[in-house]
Chain A
Amino acid sequence: MATADELRELMRTEGAAVAENTQGFNEGRYRSVAELSDYEELKSEARAIKEDAIERLPELLDELTETVEENGGTVYLADDAADANDYIREVVADRDADRVVKSKSMTSEEIEVNDTLEADGVDVVETDLGEWVLQVADEAPSHIVAPAIHKSRESIAELFNEVFDPDEPLETAEELTRFAREKLGEKIVDAEVGLTGANFVTAESGTMALVTSEGNARKTVAATDTHVAVAGVEKVIPTVGDLHPFVELIGRSGTGQDITSYVSLLTPPVETPVVDFDDDETPLSEFDTDREFHLVLIDNGRMAMREDDQLRETLYCIRCSACANSCANFQSVGGHAFGGETYSGGIATGWEAGIEGLDVAAEFNDLCTGCSRCVNACPVEIDIPWINTVVRDRINREGDEPADWLVDGLTPDAEPDSPSLQKRFFGNFETVAKLGTATAPVSNWLASTGLSRKAMAWALDIDPRRELPSFERETFVDWARNRDSTVEDPQRRAVVYPDLYTNHVQVSRGKAAVKVLEALGVDVVVPAVASSGRAPLSQGMVATARTHAQRVTETLAPHVDDGRDVIVIEPSDHAMFQREYEKLLDEATFTDLAENSYEVFEYVYGLLENGAAVGQLPSGDDEALAYHSHCQQRTLGLEAHTVAVLEQCGYDVVTSDVECCGMAGSFGYKSDYYELSMDVGDRLREQLEANGVQDRRVVASGTSCLEQIDALLERHPSHPIELLAE
């Protein structure tokens, strides 16, 4: 796991370049997919093709092998990296090759074939310009699509000028590109073997698709007489026709290009003449087109992932990088922190857990906060946060940190002796909050004293720079128990879910929600309900989260059966009901709750749409607001409802568009991540302090967003429901 020092150093040295590039890709993605009228259908189609292909993988591999051999090539199915490397070095030795030119291939990096070939004295040349920069610099990729994303133009120029000492120092991107093109061009035409990856391989015709922009993959194949393609077994799909949704989605999802310059559909061995580029007598048509082709398909853990109900989805990944670019933490630290041996970004946890093992995944798994912004960005609809949660759970269970006396009493969880002390503390925050309320204001005073903060920093790694939540003496549930509904002839009947924070910390927003709902003719009850399980789930404590989910639905189900709607104020808990409970509960129990629960503004919006009078709510009188929605709320498509209601009430609203505030529940409290959390938060701060925004009152929907904004700004933010109850 990266330490606070390592993260700080990465943010200092690489953060600016990584942030600029990833945010550029991410903005491009939004723009580009918006132009596709059938974007959602294409994603579902792509997903269905991969689901089917992985399901039928053994059969498709047989078909592909037969086809490639029929086409005149060879297929080698390698069990692991060593097996693949042995085969490739033999091909290169048989060809008596001095040089292998490579186009970009993550799978070839996974098996580290360069090292193997170089040990044999072969000159291995990366021809993708970004990969070549890293080869020259002897650095590792920091991004799966744009490997040198962490390097600025200036640092590349400095590198080239130092290593190559050109007559005129290189400076502009054009000069650097031209220089690299010429250098690499000479190497390509003299090479014997061309090594490529493959984005997709089709079983029916043996055609493979290579998605590139520079043209180096085309040259790598066209200029050599021996073509080796390296691909994971999961790249096989049935037909060329199945490529359609991927061709439309891959560039848009990754770097925000509608399509990359070249999508090569090669059915090797390709027919292009094998020429000697110095020959000035023989016309092209007189060269023969004899070319060797070897398709090396690599298992390396993938077939086991296919049998793993939780990791299987990882195999649908098309390595587009959307999950990296849309990730607020990745935007700050890049793949050198948020990555394993080969892969980086959100889905890397699945890849590294399956290929390298849990220990490698554990190195960076905690950097996923579960904010879910990558979920809608993924072109094959992989639930990436869920994979991260499952892997975190497995890491917890492998962990050897003993439970500690300090937290043991606070942690009535279903995971004895497994997750770290810190994870169990945050995972069992419900118990902490209950104690906090019972002992407020003493607990608040204790939490703010230097000594107990030091103890927390020592035992729990809670960063001393964070303010801790302050517990209310009277909970939301207690307050509601002691009052009667003000609604005599209710239009609807509802339960307001007393989430952990509303119940113990932000009680005022619960009261506000009740007041607003009653004003709109809703009869409201606030029963005592367990916390949603968001806290343990975010620590990878899946069994504990499941227990919470069961307790929540046991309490709420009778109310739902009785015709009450469930209103949720905290977006991260609403997202539990709408998304994660599907993984934790049986289908009927999940559906009953999901279909009958609403985020509070979604519900108010619905009431107003169905005839409730907005005049029952106080007017905003054109007051200017800045609204920061919540990451999980945005993933569920529920940002617009808050904005619409506030506008109907007469507010003038501008919204932030950062992917996440950086707090992400307990993440920003942890000492190791405090500075990263603030770095991510800084992007939100910039938007909230921009011209025209800097004087607006700030409202935000999420508890942790409110805490983060409170730390970032002079202005105190509030939950928007409190405005409607003023």
Chain B
Amino acid sequence: MTESDSPFAASLDELGVTVTSTDRAGVPAAIDEAVVEPAVGVSPGEEFAHGDFPLAEAGIDLDPTPAALEAATTGVSVAELGIGDYGSLALTSTGDGSELVSLFVERHVALLHEDDIAPDMDEAVETLEKTLARTRGSTIIATGPSATADMGALVKGAHGPETVHVIVVEGGE
């Protein structure tokens, strides 16, 4: 496992998001290190180019009940895109609840293939335009943890996660 020094990693660092890089085989260990239990997750949908991460081997509940989701501290899901200059993640909503798993938790752990990191917002939006026109799906461009300044000072962790951890998966399929 290595610390990445890419522009994407630098952007995440500025947002206070921890990022680790690993090859495919190291995914279960990276997840194990990133999650705070209890943890739930969802497998990526069919739309993902680099979807088949070895999530099942990480020992987390990949099809939780709503009650298990409510009780979970960590949610693990896959990001379709990373956006280099902003440190953003594109989180596509799937029919088995990736939106719930990345939102109704205190800690979101996102897996992302290094080939899916777009250098800038321009390119990312272009990619999302093509995907959304075809799938008519929904994607959240999520940048850092949820936040609010409405209570008189900036607070991380408003309605959404307070902590975000990104695992960048390197190398081929």
Contacts and interface: CB of A to CB of B under 8 A. Distances in A.
B163 interface: no
A129 B158 contact: yes
A156 to B, nearest CB: 6
A261 B145 contact: yes
Interface in A220-270: 222, 239-241, 243-244, 247-248, 255, 258-268, 270
Given A219-B103, A260-B143, A271-B95, A133 B70 contact: no
Given A156-B152, A264-B140, A272-B95, 17 more contacts: A174-B155, A177-B150, A205-B136, A213-B148, A214-B159, A215-B159, A218-B99, A240-B129, A247-B121, A248-B121, A261-B146, A261-B147, A265-B141, A271-B95, A272-B94, A282-B65, A284-B97
Nearest to B142: A262
B126 A265 contact: no
Interface string B75-104: 000000000001010000111110111011
Interface in B125-144: 125-126, 128-129, 132-133, 136-144
B119 interface: no
Contacts of A263: 140-141, 143
A261 B142 contact: yes
B96 A130 contact: no
A272 B99 contact: yes
A289 B95 contact: yes
A503 interface: no
Contact of B93 (A71, A189, A270): A270
Interface of B: 42, 63-70, 86, 88, 93-97, 99-101, 103-104, 121-122, 125-126, 128-129, 132-133, 136-155, 157-161
Given A205-B132, A261-B145, A277-B70, A153 B137 contact: no
Contacts of B132: 205, 207, 240, 265, 267
Contacts of A189: 70
A434 interface: no
B67 A273 contact: no
A185 interface: yes
Contacts of B93: 222, 270-272
Contact of A216 (B64, B137, B158): B158
Contact of B122 (A148, A244, A255, A282): A244
B103 A215 contact: yes
Interface residues of A, number: 72
A173 B64 CA distance: 33
Contacts, number: 203
Closest 8 CB pairs of A and B: A153-B152, A215-B160, A280-B67, A214-B158, A284-B97, A130-B150, A173-B153, A215-B159
A285 interface: yes
Given A247-B141, A265-B141, A275-B97, A241 B151 contact: no
A177 B158 contact: yes
Contacts of B157: 177-178, 181
A176 interface: yes
A146 interface: yes
Contact of A273 (B95, B103, B146, B159): B95
B159 A181 contact: yes
A442 B95 CA distance: 84
A621 interface: no
A307 interface: no
Interface in A127-158: 127-130, 133, 146, 148, 151-154, 156
B153 A279 contact: no
A287 B96 CA distance: 8
A226 to B, nearest CB: 16
A530 to B, nearest CB: 49
The winner among A180, A215, A239, A276 for most chain B CB atoms within 10 A is: A215
Given A240-B129, A263-B140, A222 B65 contact: no
Contact of B66 (A71, A173, A276): A276
A153 B153 contact: yes
A167 B133 CA distance: 51
A272 B143 contact: no
A272 B66 CA distance: 12
Given A181-B158, A214-B159, A278 B66 contact: yes
B28 to A, nearest CB: 21
Given A214-B158, A259-B88, A277-B70, A240 B128 contact: yes
A204 B150 CA distance: 35
A177 B148 contact: yes
A284 B155 contact: no
Contacts of B129: 239-241
A166 B114 CA distance: 47
Contacts of A277: 66-67, 69-70
B98 to A, nearest CB: 8
A285 B138 contact: no
